[in-house]
Amino acid sequence: MRLSRYFLPVLKENPAEAQIVSHRYMLRAGMIKQAAAGIYSWLPLGFKVLRKLENIIHEEQIRAGHIPIQMPILQSAELWRESGRYDDYGEEMLRMKDRHGRDMLYTPTAEELVTDIFRAHVNSYRELPLTLYQIQWKFRDEIRPRFGVMRGREFLMKDGYNFDLTKEDALHAYNRHLVSYLRTYERMGLQAIPMRADSGPIGGDDTHEFLVLAETGESEVFYDSAITDLRFGNRDIDYDDRAACAAVLEEFTSRYARTDETHVEAEFHAQVPEARRRQARGIEVGQIFYFGTKYSEPMGATVVNEKGERVPVHMGSHGIGVSRLVGAIIEASHDDRGIIWPEGVTPFHCGIVNLKQGDAAADAACESLYGALTAIGLEPLYDDRDERAGAKFATMDLIGLPWRITVGPRGLRSGVVELTSRRTGESEALRPEEAVERVARIYGKAAD
């Protein structure tokens, strides 16, 4: 993409309403624009990051054997009355009536809707296990929306729902989701720590939240610092292998790590050596639940088992806050100049900065770099504007592309361009073809 043809409405000054880093940089980098309190339009740069996150989530969900669907944003209140949650959910639920006077609601979560789908189409234990998931916009009418996309009213969420014959089967689904989430977050450049949490209005006895440590986190957390040394890495886990999935869960949840709702001071001091006790803030980016037959029993979601008996299925739900993740990544990866995107989620793979637009040699070199990177399947952002070099560098630093290739007449006279890492600030003079090869290797592409 050529920056002269792109819509990137960057701001030079910090918006007064932005209280935390991610909100400030998302507004300044032209990623979002507020439409109403807690509701945002996603502009091209922000939308590209959102789609990158969605793609990673889809790939990892499908790898784990889960099946994508799409459910509506509006739901009938009748399903929620059937489960008993309609009056209990509280004022965060946006309720309305359609033109026929029927009670409707804007989806805050979809346990009732997916259970209704299941009971209409699944009858036998032979059709289990089954996990359905979607990525869909949701709405919760927060009384004080703040911090941009971190605590908005409208948000994009991945929500998945497993249906299993027995509790043992459902707990394997729980473990399987934990494994898939660890892989998902690491692909996004995040360390998300699973912590024992409170189930809230969704209910259930077993639940873990995934939290990214950050000073601006809304949750107070208590944990054993040894857990921060754990990495999932490139493990090849068979999701059907119950023992392997259970072992990963044991590895990542056996050390003390809890949100303030479930924290027990005495247990903390008893289990964690003093040198490793930590108290910090965390940003929730996902949560997994096992809630048994909480929804299947009242809603009649049953199957015929091997003995010919009709029994309620065991269920769980599993969420990832997709739009919230954009803010969490920025909170975890930035400096005083702007965002620093991890390679896995960057909106463009690298930036090309032309220091002297209109110079024949510089223009030709930039065009050659742009064509070579595009030809191997990468997306460069070429700053071809007639702007000062300082303004171009400031824009690249603000939007946070991991790599920048700088092209100027002086370097070209020596046959080189400059490749710079946004994270470290280190630069290296390379021949243009070497710069392309280096960027290609970083992203696992083959340069011609």
CATH of domain 350-442: 3.40.50.800
**Residues linked to residue 213 through DSSP beta bridges, in sequence order:** 282
Helices (H), 5-146: 21-28, 44-63, 77-83, 111-121
Mean residue pLDDT of the chain comes to 94
Helices (H), 137-282: 167-187, 242-253, 265-271
Residue 325 has pLDDT above 80, yes or no: yes
Sign of torsion, CA 160 161 167 173? Answer: negative
Count of beta carbons in the 10 Å neighbourhood of residue 29: 23
The pTM of this model reads 0.94
Q: What is the pLDDT of residue 198?
A: 75
Least confident of 163-167, 214-218, 264-268: 214-218
Sign of torsion, CA 286 292 297 302? Answer: positive
Taking the C-alpha atoms of residue 318 and residue 182, their distance in angstroms, rounded to an integer, is: 13
Residue 199 has pLDDT above 70, yes or no: no
**Domain range summary for the chain, segments of one domain joined by +:** 3-339, 350-442
Across the range 135-153, mean pLDDT stands at 91
pLDDT tens for 273-299 read 999 999 999 999 999 999 899 989 999
Taking the C-alpha atoms of residue 380 and residue 400, their distance in angstroms, rounded to an integer, is: 13
pLDDT tens for 49-79 read 999 999 999 999 999 999 999 999 999 999 9
Question: CATH topology for 3-339?
Answer: BirA Bifunctional Protein; domain 2 (3.30.930)
Strand residues in 355-422 grouped as ranges (E): 380-383, 403-407, 417-421
pLDDT tens for 337-365 read 999 999 999 999 999 999 999 999 999 99
Of 38, 36, 10, nearest to 24 by C-alpha is 10
Q: What is the pLDDT of residue 166?
A: 97
Local confidence band at 256 (pLDDT 50, 70, 90 cut-offs): very high
